[in-house]
């Protein structure tokens, strides 16, 4: 079992994460999507922005424990940095529920006044941005440059079990007549298998849905400095194999979603994945697990410019 650490104070966070200005906003972009004409995309980081709730001047894009007006200011700054436009491009977000629900925004539909309820959204509409929020979960952006259609998907472990990404690609095929071979996908920064220990419930859910489930799990001995320094405190009288001391099962959530893209028909060469682990890189990224739930949110955003 992991040692539960106390939530750090604001002062402590500021020492860890130096203050930055909004002009220093850092955006992670996928190499494959960057080559497509008229496609705007990017994965935000915590760098830049105006939030102080989580230390320094940070780009929190979620309405968490932060000031709502500051978050809105951060979103405007991020969209300007993403599009290089002074005029604000509409940003369409989701009320995420860890589901397999994919919403469709058609050309004739009005811009939603409130976040759409679900975990995926697809559109062929130009000059709007689709955004999904994450802080360990997997953000996936998909583009069909021929049919001019895009999708954005939020995949936590529950959404992954419900095949949100595979459903999303299927919805793009159904609604916009996309061909899987013409699709390009980018998987943004998320928690990697090195840091994502899971329990029997998660393992059972994956095994019930995917024939390759066992390929997604690995055994990892988590280093705990307290246990290493005071091993006698953690001795157990339980029989071998019945103690909670030992290797933990870790889930490769990134690979699980890459497999769904492959199963949906995308060529392997058309799939890009960010190398950053959110839990390892809290200097640059928000991590719900590593920061004990007290953290901001990042966004994966995509749009078609007309």
pLDDT of residue 88: 85
pLDDT of residue 14: 39
**Residue 247 and residue 113: Cα distance in Å, rounded?**
48
How far CA 240 is from CA of 83, 233, 244, 246, 247, in Å, comes to 58, 17, 10, 10, 13
Nearest to 77 by CA among 63, 67, 92, 89: 89
Q: Tell me which residue has tokens 């402590």.
A: 12
CA angle 144, 136, 166 (to 5 degrees): 35
For 130, the token pair is: 């689709």
pLDDT of residue 220: 87
Evaluated on CA atoms 163, 168, 174, 179, the torsion sign reads negative
Which positions of the chain have pLDDT values less than 70? 1-23, 222-246
- Spatial CB neighbours of 77, under 8 Å, sequence gap ≥ 6: 22, 25, 48, 49, 50, 59
Cβ-based burial of 106 (10 A; exposed 0-12, middle 13-18, buried ≥19): exposed
Q: Hey, what domains does the chain have and what are their CATH numbers?
A: 10-191+265-304 (3.60.140.10), 197-251 (no CATH)
- Write the pLDDT tens digit of every residue in 212-249: 999 999 998 765 555 555 656 655 555 444 445 567 99
pTM here? 0.87
pLDDT of residue 8: 42
pLDDT of residue 10: 40
Distance of CA 116 to the CA centre of its chain: 17
pLDDT of residue 20: 45
pLDDT of residue 222: 61
């Amino acid at each position: 079992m992991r040692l539960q650490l106390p939530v750090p104070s604001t002062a402590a966070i500021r020492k860890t994460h130096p203050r930055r200005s909004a002009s220093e906003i850092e955006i992670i972009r996928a190499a494959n999507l960057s080559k497509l004409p008229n496609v705007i995309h990017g994965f935000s980081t915590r760098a830049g922005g105006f939030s102080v709730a989580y230390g320094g001047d940070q780009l929190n894009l979620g309405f968490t424990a932060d000031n709502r007006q500051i978050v809105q200011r951060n979103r405007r700054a991020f969209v300007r940095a993403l599009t290089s436009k002074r005029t604000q491009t509409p940003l369409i977000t989701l009320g995420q529920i860890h589901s397999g629900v994919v919403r469709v925004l058609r050309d004739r539909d009005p811009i939603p006044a409130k976040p759409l309820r679900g975990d995926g959204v697809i559109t062929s509409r130009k000059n709007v941005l689709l955004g999904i929020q994450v802080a360990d979960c997997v953000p996936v952006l998909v583009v069909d440059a021929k049919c001019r259609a895009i999708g954005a998907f939020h995949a936590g472990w529950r959404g992954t079990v419900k095949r949100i990404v595979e459903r999303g690609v299927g919805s793009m095929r159904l609604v916009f007549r996309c061909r899987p071979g013409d699709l390009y996908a980018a998987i943004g920064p998320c928690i990697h298998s090195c840091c994502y220990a899971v329990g029997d419930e998660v393992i059972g859910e994956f095994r019930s849905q995917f024939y390759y489930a066992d390929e997604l799990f690995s055994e990892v001995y988590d280093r705990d400095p307290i246990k290493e320094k005071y091993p006698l405190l953690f001795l157990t009288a339980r029989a071998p194999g019945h103690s909670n001391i030992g290797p933990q099962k870790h889930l490769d959530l990134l690979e699980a979603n890459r497999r769904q893209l492959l199963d949906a028909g995308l060529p392997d060469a058309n799939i890009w994945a960010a190398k950053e682990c959110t839990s390892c890189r809290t200097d640059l990224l928000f991590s719900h697990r590593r920061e004990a739930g007290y953290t901001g949110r990042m966004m994966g955003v995509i749009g078609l410019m007309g």
